[in-house]
Amino acid sequence: MLKLENIQIALGEKQIIHDVSLSLASGDIGCLLGPSGCGKTTLLRAIAGFIPLVAGTIRIKGETVSSSQQHIDVTQRKVGVVFQDFALFPHLTVGQNIVFGLHQQTTQQQQARLTELLDLTQLTEYADQYPHQLSGGQQQRVAIARALAPRPEILLLDEPFSALDPSLRESLALDIKTLLKYEGVTALLITHDQTEAFTIADKIAVMNDGHIEQYASAYDLYHEPQTYFVANFVGEGRFIQGRVVVAPNTHGVIQTALGEFAVHEEPALAEYEKQALLLVRPDDFVVEPTSPYQVTVIGRAFRGAHILYTFRHADSGQDVLCLLPSHHDYQVGTTVGIRLELEHVIYF
Amino acid sequence: MAITSVFTSLGRSFVTSMIAVLRDTWFVSALCLCALLGVPIIAILWSFTDISLPLWTHLIDTNLSLYIGNSLLLALGVGIGSGVLGVSLAWCVTQYEFWGRSWFQWALLLPLAMPAYIMAYTYTGLFDDLGWFDSRSLIGAIAFMSLVLYPYVFMLAKTAFSGQQQQYQEVAATLGITRSAYFLKIALPIARPAVLTGVALAMMEALADYGTVAFFGISTFTTGIFRTWFGMGEMQLASQLAGGLALFVLVVLGLEKHSRRNMRFYQTQDLPVNKDTSARARSTKSLSVQSSISHYALSAYCLSVLLLAFIVPVTQLCVWALSTLEHIDVTEYWTLLVNSFSLALFSSILIVLIALCLSYAQRFAKTKSVGYLTQFAALGYAIPGTVLAIGILQPFGWLDEQLNYVWYQWFGEYIGLVFSGTFVALFFAYCVRFLSVAMHNTQTGLERIKPNIDDAVLTLGRGRLSLMRRIHFPLLRKSLLAASILVFVDVLKELPATLILRPFNFNTLAVKAFEYAADERLIAAAMPSVTIVIIGIIPVIMLTRAMQQN
């Protein structure tokens, strides 16, 4: 549906996007996740047709819309965009905003599409109101309805929840997901917030410094990050020092201050006997008073059902994060016996 | 393989350079416009290439010290007078509750509608009738100008005082600071940049004034420039004097900008705050209620200023105008009206269009320097009308001379004056002088339309034309209208440049009022003056509305 091949983009002299490839199947919701300044907005604007490419191609439904030689104008692209600040036309009503892109259709067709979209976005009673009379969530739905109205091949959403109240974001994100799935539209959203990405997207591309680090499902990003950046950026976690060594009946083990763990795949020869960093997620621990690994509580943050502890391993001086059910109530300074249970051994 | 890649890269560089040129069209047109608008300044500077020593020695021996001294005294006096009036009135209406407070808040802006020269004729005529004293003096000029120019300070100081957070005052009160100490130690220093801006505006107007000082026979830079040009026929020297005056104005402007830059941290409270908080702050704002005597004293103070600055002169003008009503020359008045209105209307359309072009250039051009260009073009408002007129007459006169020379070579006849002494010169002067007024409105209007709106229109498959027609124009309509009205009224009130540059025998309301007054026919001057004042009230009302909306 959407296919990006080896894209390079420069703004002025500065190269923003280095060699990005990505594809999105019809009806899927994709997400570009990354810290600010990683180039995700630039990539989105290039797909929309606001920025030309230096190299590579962008194909929508098999048709090349952007390449170094070719650049189909924004107005001809059939790409819908939902802007960060929604960019609703303040002097037009909700209804007029939504039908704005249907100028080539007859009034009846416009009316039919409007009724359908108003119904879908639960905005029927607001059709004659002006944008400033609506709440943030309603304005967002108008923006989405307006972008969906001309039935674009692909819908792009630029940080769609950043203008909304944080406490509402997750539930709104679910509503939007239902809406997009109902319309069956292929969508790509960009965000810096992983919760939003996890809620709404089928597949997430983690971006860093102009390239894609990993393109995978939320589960895989969390449990099987392929790069140090992804491991660090997605989810909470700490790294502890280790060393990969040869061991009988396995591909090898990684030795750390908190135990030895068998690696899943045979490491390259060069990796043996080198320092490595093992990823430890807060949910990888079990409490075991008799464990040989004793740690001291140096911080705790109460989170209702759970408490997030910061433990320090006295022998090695390394800190780890550990999420335990609330009934494990340890005060700062107490010593706890723990054991690491790693389902996925991820090291770099 | 190699050949194709060469072609590709050639094609690519062609595409990128085309894009660069297309983007630069905005830059190029802005550059041309601004260069054109800079012609008067360049002409004034150019005049310094030919300095005549004997003339300057003569001038230094005779009048120069008078020009400098009187202009400086006038500017200083008006600065102090309008500053004291403006700050004290603003403090009264923002801090105390008294009879008529909410009414005074906007009524005290009304003197803005009175051009200083009309104020001067009216009072002079009034005092002559009463036989009290002769107000034709520097002190009189300072007093009258302060009375019509204090609203600049009042307006800015009022916004600054009412924008100050209630918390400051509460903190001060808990620290045991009295209200007068609070004013001196906290409120005034915080409001200082705003007050200084207002004072600087008033001082610039005072330096630029020609009508009042000419009528009172005071030797200042502006009257000196007139005398040197028209009386002595020394155009070069007049230009050089104009350069001196422009320098004075620029110094005032520079001081104001400098003081504001150092004070920028004070402006943080001007940032848009959370609506709830600001609403709460307003509702809890406690105005101090005075005992009945001081209560009336405050009302009396505001009322007396308003009486002196607006009610008395306007009433006097109306009385005179009514007394002339029966033997007024209707056709002459009608001609004045049509002349002034068509001049103002045409200039306002022209100026707003130019302002719109420059604002769009600033929006679409990728080059940062367009911002500097437009700032430079907006400097024109600081150039006194007299200076501007001189700066236009010289290059336009030269241009006409060349044109006639060439024309004569080709066609064997002269075509006469094309630029100088025609409407071209007049419109050009208005463009330079009032562009910033219009640009302020078009710029803020355009800035309110966020760039994402443009992008949204394009992604919905509508072209650039429909972006302008369906989105920008409806959203800009109010700003364009406001800009046109402000320019219209400014052109209508403008005196010195119109006086110098107008085509032969072409009279406007302002010019005629000045001519009647100069001939001591003060009563005859009343009718055109009243017309100017009444039309001048329109922008004051607009201003009040805008302030209330904020």
**Pairing state of beta strands A211-216 and A335-340?**
unpaired
**Does B135 share its domain with B210?**
yes
Is residue B424 located within the same domain as residue B513? yes
Residue recorded with tokens 């085309």: B18
Q: What percent of chain B has pLDDT over 70?
A: 88
Which DSSP helix (H) or strand (E) runs through B231? Answer: none
Q: What is the 3-state secondary structure (H, E, C) of B293-322?
A: HHHHHHHHHHHHHHHHHHHHHHHHHHHHHH
Percent of chain A residues past pLDDT 70, beyond the cut: 100
Inside any domain, residue B550 = no
B133 pLDDT more than 80:
no
B494 within some domain: yes
Interchain CB distance below 8 Å, B461 and A50: no
Cβ-nearest to A68 among B12, B19, B458: B12
pLDDT at position A345 over 80: yes
Instruction: Test A87 with B463 for CB contact under 8 angstroms.
Output: no
Q: In angstroms, what separates the C-alpha of A140 from chain B's closest C-alpha?
A: 14
Q: How many CB pairs under 8 A join A and B?
A: 63
pLDDT at B286: 54
- What pLDDT is stored for residue A146 in this prediction? 94
ipTM over 0.90: no
Give pTM, 2 decimals.
0.78
User: Where residue B24 falls among pLDDT bands split at 50, 70, 90?
Assistant: low
Q: Quick one: B304 and B419 in the same domain?
A: no
Q: Quick one: B381 and B477 in the same domain?
A: yes
Looking at B298, B319, B340, the residue that finishes a domain is: B319
- A69 interaction partners in chain B (CB closer than 8 Å): 8, 11
B456 to A91: CB separation less than 8 angstroms, yes or no: no
Is pLDDT at B279 greater than 50 in this prediction? Answer: no
Of B296, B319, B342, at which residue does a domain stop?
A: B319
Per-residue confidence (pLDDT) for residue B275, from 0 to 100: 40
B199 and B262, same domain (yes or no) = yes
B315 & B353 share domain: no
pLDDT at B486: 85
Q: Write out the two tokens for A226.
A: 């392929």
Question: Can you give the pLDDT at residue B189?
Answer: 84
Residue of B nearest to A149 (CA): B460
Between residues B400 and B147, which one has the greater pLDDT?
A: B147
Residue B21 placed within a domain? no
- Cβ of residue A151 closer than 8 Å to a chain B Cβ: no
Give pLDDT tens digits for A91-128: 899 999 999 999 888 999 999 999 999 998 899 999 99
> Do B291 and B356 lie in a common domain?
no
Domain containing B396 — which CATH number?
1.10.3720.10
pLDDT value of position A57: 93
- Which domains are present in chain A? 2-230 (3.40.50.300), 236-340 (no CATH)
Task: Look at residue A314 and tell me whether its pLDDT is greater than 90.
Answer: no
Q: How sure is the predictor about B283, in pLDDT bands with cuts at 50, 70 and 90?
A: very low
B274 CB neighbours in chain A (<8 A) are none
Residue A101 forms contact with B (CB below 8 Å): yes
φ and ψ of B136, to 5 deg:
-80, 80
Task: Find the helix packing angle between B509-518 and B526-549, rounded to 10°.
Answer: 130
In a domain, B116, yes or no: yes
The predicted-structure confidence for B220-230, as pLDDT tens digits, reads as follows: 989 998 888 88
Q: Which of A42-51, A78-87, B282-291 has the lowest mean pLDDT?
A: B282-291
In terms of domains, do B332 and B284 share one? no
What integer is the mean pLDDT of A302-307? Answer: 89
The whole-number pLDDT of residue B4 equals 56
Q: How confident is the model at residue B270 (pLDDT cuts 50, 70, 90)?
A: very low
Q: Please determine, for residue B78, whether its predicted confidence score (pLDDT) is greater than 90.
A: yes
Segment B434-490, tens digit of pLDDT: 998 898 888 888 888 888 898 899 888 888 788 888 899 899 988 888 889 889 988
Best A11, A45, A100 member to test B by mutation, with max B CBs in 10 Å, is: A100
| Residue-range definition of the domain harbouring residue B478 | 328-518
- Say if residue B308 is in the same domain as residue B334: no
Average of per-residue pLDDT across A228-239 = 90
Q: What is the pLDDT of residue A31?
A: 94
Please indicate, yes or no, if residue B197 is contained in any of the structural domains: yes
Is B462 in Cβ contact with A81 (below 8 Å)?
A: no
Same domain? B299 vs B378: no
Give the whole-angstrom CA distance, residue B156 versus residue B106: 13
What is the number of domains present in chain B?
2
B300 and B419 both lie in a single domain? no
Partners of A312 in the β-ladder: A296, A319
| Per-residue model confidence as pLDDT tens digits over A134-149 | 998 899 999 999 999 9
The CA distance from A20 to the nearest CA of chain B, in Å, is 20
pLDDT at B343: 93
- Reading the block at residue B222, the tokens are 């502006």
- Does residue B270 sit in the same domain as residue B397? no
Tell which of B263, B284, B319 closes a domain: B319
User: Closest to A101 (Cβ–Cβ): which among B450, B462, B475?
Assistant: B462
Identify the weakest region by mean pLDDT among A24-38, A298-312, B116-130.
B116-130
Residue B148 falls within a domain, yes or no?
yes
Q: Are B460 and A100 a contacting pair at CB < 8 A?
A: yes
φ/ψ of A71, rounded to 5, equals -150, 100
Is the pLDDT at A66 greater than 50, yes or no? yes
Is pLDDT at B109 greater than 60 in this prediction? Answer: yes
pLDDT confidence tier of residue B262, bands split at 50, 70 and 90: low
Burial of A176 (0-12, 13-18, 19+ CB in 10 A): buried
Whether residue B292 lies inside any domain: the answer is yes
Q: Is residue B434 part of a domain?
A: yes
From A6-10, A328-332, B54-58, the region with the lowest mean pLDDT: B54-58
CATH number, domain of B133, equals 1.10.3720
How high is the pLDDT of residue B305?
94
Cβ partners under 8 Å of residue A126, min gap 6: A94, A118, A133, A134, A138, A142
B459–A81 CB contact, under 8 Å: yes
More confident residue, B301 or B177: B301
